[in-house]
Amino acid sequence: MRRTTAGIIAALVLGIVAGPPVPHAQQATRVARIGWLGFPTREVAEPVVQAFRRGLKDLGWVEGQNIVIEWRFAGGRAERLPELAAELVGLRVDLIVVPNTPTALAAKDATKTIPIVTGAVGDPVGLGLVASLARPGGNITGLTAVVSPEIAGKQLELLKEAVPKASRVAVLWNPATPGSEPYLREAEIAARALHVQLQRVGARTSDEFADAFAAMARERAGAFIVLGDPMFFGQRTRLADLARRGRLPAMYSAKEYAQAGGLMSHGPVLADLYRRVATYVDKILKGAKPGDLPVEQPMKFELVVNLKAAKAIGLTIPQSFLLRADQLIE
């Protein structure tokens, strides 16, 4: 009897000292660690970074609490991407987010095992990133900014509608970016239908912008289109400034260009794309395999006009066109 009583007392004492068992739900959970491989500077990428962080937060992922993000930015220098990708692989992150084509290709070369989630990349099948949109296979999935190349023709139509007198239009594109040719061809088809002379102007780096705008001036371009490209996106404020100085109306591929002083844009809503990137991160961190998650395309598009930019170059845009815009920046 004494032994039993003593045992009970000892058990009670130990229970008090050790405390009650911790329920499973209250046990410390593992903090996820992911990488972000960016092409431009952090400052330039901030709009999409914030959209991605909001997407994560909506799904219950909060930096510093249950997720750590290793941010890496190449500052617009493509040659740095392989080094930064290798650095993230060396940190053994749980997955790597790649916002665009150059970063996706760098991450692909760096790892075949760590999951990779794409953002606004070019044609993922054509680039060899995935086997198909429906069944990516391998370690890569996510979103693509690619819509039908016909969007380039639509951008030219809208530009012509806003600037009816433009009979010569240039297309600024990056010859170093894979997948541009179909968009250029669609722009040329639209140009013939609109009786517009189209001029291809290439720029691989921002150092070639001066020559590009000089070429537009020589050919007397009355307006120009900027094809979607991460290098151009990173230099959007400078492009808008050059267009203003040359008094050239321009059509861009995303609202962020118009917000940076560009005249107008028509294209996917990037903020929506990067919020959706967060859903892939969430699924993979919870056990889904990248190769089983279909690649998704943009679902939301918008036409944005910067009225201040129009005034700066002395352009009066038809009221009928302005009424069709999703957003007017004043």
Does 15 score more than 80 pLDDT? no
Residue 131 is predicted with a pLDDT of: 97
**For the chain, percent of residues with pLDDT exceeding 90:** 85
Strand order in the sheet with 197-202: 197-202, 168-173, 223-226, 250-252, 264-268, 301-306, 327-329
Spans of all domains in the chain: 32-147+270-300, 150-268+302-329
Residue 9 is predicted with a pLDDT of: 38
Question: What are the pLDDT digits (tens) for 48-62?
Answer: 999 999 999 999 999
Does 13 score more than 70 pLDDT? no
- CATH T-level fold of 32-147+270-300: Rossmann fold (3.40.50)
- CATH T-level fold of 150-268+302-329: Rossmann fold (3.40.50)
Mean pLDDT across 307-324: 97
Question: What are the pLDDT digits (tens) for 125-179?
Answer: 989 999 999 999 999 999 998 777 889 999 999 999 999 999 999 999 999 988 8
Q: Do the two domains 32-147+270-300 and 150-268+302-329 of this chain adopt the same fold?
A: yes
- Main-chain phi, psi angles of 95, to 5 degrees: -165, 165
Burial per residue of 245-276, b for 16 or more beta-carbon CB atoms within 10 angstroms, e otherwise: ebebbbbbbbbbbbbbbbbbbbbbbbbbbbbb
